[in-house]
Amino acid sequence: MRPVVLGMALGMALTAGVSRVLKALLFGVSALDPVVFASVSVLLAVWLHFFASYVPARRATKVDPMVALECE
């Protein structure tokens, strides 16, 4: 979790700097809205966690259990 938290903190800091430049593209929220920052960070973390665990699990279901046990 340490790299995830570090990445989220770095991403939020960079986004805070860039959001001032892209202020014209933000509709209905302020440039530094904490609710948007937190919700996007959590959404990205959950989405990435899902795919980081789903892809290996999907590959593991395609291996025949007997073949996997024979290798040991």
How many residues are listed for the chain in this entry? 72
- Rounded CA-CA distance 32/17 in Å is 9
Give the distance from CA 28 to its chain's centroid: 24
Give the distance from CA 30 to its chain's centroid: 23
Query: Tens of pLDDT along 2-39?
Result: 887 888 788 888 887 887 777 777 777 777 778 877 88
Q: What pLDDT does 60 receive?
A: 86
Indicate whether 71 pLDDT > 70. Answer: no
Contact 20, 31 (CB under 8 A): yes
Domain residue extents for the chain: 2-70
Q: Is the pTM of this model over 0.85?
A: no
